[in-house]
Amino acid sequence: MRLHRLPEIMQRWLPHTEWRGPVAAGEKPLYLTFDDGPIPDETPFVLEQLARYDAHATFFCVGSNLEKHPDIARQVLAAGHRLGNHTFHHVNGWRTPLPQYLAEAQHCQQALDALLPQPEARPLLRPPYGRLTRAQAAALHPGHRLIMWDVLTYDYDATYPADTCLRAALAHTRPGSIVVFHDSQKARRNMRAVLPRYLEACAAQGYSFELL
């Protein structure tokens, strides 16, 4: 069973987290996000697709990938996008003790800050797999915005047909949706097939693509 959007009762269980972005009256913003990069080939492909629609997005980066591919992360920034924290080793919060999890977030943030003109006052963090304990959320919240999602595309699922992935993503999209794609090798097949058509369809419906 694929839950493209978690029920609100489950969202409320985890405090201090953001599941949708702001929506002004009469506007149709979307908040595109990409997890797990930066990665050669995949992240540049995403940047090319976004540029076609003057679309802005937030890239939640794994710290170890940032250290391997800082030039790609700089390309993301130069194109007007935003970088966020996805922990240094893509750890599962449910299986990681609080001190270790906070160290993972801090290590990734140090890699991010090294690329930014100046550190952000309250940087963005998305927990890998969306798995975060209430204690971890409470500890991180004062210094971070904890970003979850309104639409999970499941582009990383190799068993999911691309056409079905696209239809489901569009069916769940609404103004203010935070939408998750992945600029990773695992998601390569579906992301490359779905993202261009998703951007085209949403642009045709009058959506804009904004930064968190």
pLDDT at 12: 84
pLDDT-derived band of residue 1, with 50, 70 and 90 as boundaries? confident
96 has a pLDDT exceeding 90 = yes
Q: Specify the fold of 28-209.
A: TIM Barrel (3.20.20)
pLDDT-derived band of residue 135, with 50, 70 and 90 as boundaries? very high
Cα 110 to chain centroid distance, Å, stands at 19
User: CA–CA separation, 11 vs 18, rounded Å?
Assistant: 9
Mean pLDDT of 127-152: 97
Q: Is 108 in contact with 67 (CB distance < 8 Å)?
A: no
Mean pLDDT of 11-17: 87
Active-site residue, 157 included: no
Catalytic residue among 4, 35, 36, 155: 35
User: CA–CA separation, 166 vs 48, rounded Å?
Assistant: 19
Active-site residue, 141 included: no
Catalytic residue among 56, 155, 182, 183: 182
pTM: 0.97
**pLDDT tens digits, 156-190:** 999 999 999 999 999 999 999 999 999 999 999 99
pLDDT at 62: 98
**pLDDT tens digits, 37-73:** 999 999 999 999 999 999 999 999 999 999 999 999 9
**Domain ranges in the chain?**
28-209
